Amino acid sequence: MSNPEYVFENLKIINFINLSAEEKEKVRKWRNHPKIKQWMNHRKTISFVEHQQFLTSLEMSKNNKYWLVKQKEQYLGVIYFTDITSLTAELGIYISPDQLGHGYGSLLLKYLLKIGFEKIGLKNIKLEVFSDNTKAINLYQKFHFKIMPTNDLPNKASVVKKRKLTKMTLESILWKKYINNY
Ligand SMILES: CC(C)(COP(=O)(O)OP(=O)(O)OC[C@H]1O[C@@H](n2cnc3c(N)ncnc32)[C@H](O)[C@@H]1OP(=O)(O)O)[C@@H](O)C(=O)NCCC(=O)NCCS
């Protein structure tokens, strides 16, 4: 069993660089599942080799961090930050495809924000989501993320031309204000 990087109550947050072979393959299967990959920027099926290369790249990376979340003996989903700087990062999340809609998205997002604001010390957390991903947008709004004006969209947005993207942001000050509601 892999050592977690963070432990919160009965949740173990395992850095991708420490996954067992079985956990690596579980994550790849989730990421390739139609219910997950339809909402991702890269929608091609990820091969075993590509997945290995990605995991190896994370060992060297300071600005991309991915974690697998486990509750007792049950694997719940994946949370991550990309483009981490001293002030900000972009988040991502996906829940195990057979456990969607049971409250785990809210649970995992809460702890991802906790890691970002309280452990890493970010001042602001951003994200980009397909504008038709109502579930995810509702989830982020529940955590007081605000939709940014479209003219602030970075270059990456214009690359994914065919589907509209919504950019959202949350300041640490708002996280602190609402922390007891989560
Ligand atoms: C988006 C995602 C993380 C939400 O996780 P989840 O476990 O399914 O959602 P939860 O049960 O925790 O619900 C959290 C909130 O999401 C919203 N939500 C969930 N299911 C919904 C639905 N069917 N319709 C509308 N909103 C919904 C609600 O705001 C809900 O809060 P509430 O129950 O208090 O009303 C999950 O659906 C997922 O992994 N989707 C595929 C990958 C993805 O889209 N990732 C985000 C890319 S930016």
pLDDT at position 153 is 55
Distance 49 CA to ligand 1 centre (A): 30
Q: Ligand 1 pocket: which residues have CB below 6 Å?
A: 36, 39, 93-95, 100-106, 127, 129, 133-136, 138-139, 142
Residue of 36, 104, 139 to mutate, ligand 1, most atoms within 8 A of C-beta: 139
Task: Give DSSP secondary structure letters for 78-119.
Answer: EEEEES--SSEEEEEEEE-GGGTTSSHHHHHHHHHHHIIIII
Please check whether residue 1 lies inside any domain of the structure.
no
Give the mean pLDDT per block of 10 residues along the chain (182 residues): 90 98 98 97 95 97 97 97 98 98 97 97 98 98 94 56 89 92 83
Q: What is the pLDDT of residue 154?
A: 57
Question: 112 lies in which domain range?
Answer: 6-181
Distance from the alpha carbon of residue 139 to the mean position of ligand 1, in angstroms: 5
- Indicate whether 140 belongs to any domain: yes
CATH number at residue 100: 3.40.630.30
Query: What pLDDT score does 155 carry?
Result: 57
Residue 94 lies in a domain: yes
pLDDT confidence of residue 1: 63
Residue 142 included in any domain: yes
Contacts of 77 (CB under 8 A, 6+ apart): 30, 68, 69, 93, 94, 95, 96, 99, 104, 105, 108
Structure confidence at residue 98 (pLDDT): 96
Q: Is residue 171 part of a domain?
A: yes
- Rounded CA gap, 113 and 172, in Å? 9
According to the model, what pLDDT value does residue 150 have? 78
In a domain, 30, yes or no: yes
Assigned domain for 167 exists: yes
Nearest atom in ligand 1 to 129's CA: 48
Q: Half-sphere exposure of 152 toward its Cβ, with a 13 Å CA cutoff? A: 11
What's the CA-to-centroid distance between 60 and ligand 1, angstroms? Answer: 32
pLDDT at 151: 67
Q: Does 145 map to a domain?
A: yes
Ligand 1 centre from 20 Cα, in Å?
Answer: 28
- Looking at the structure of the chain, the number of domains it has is 1
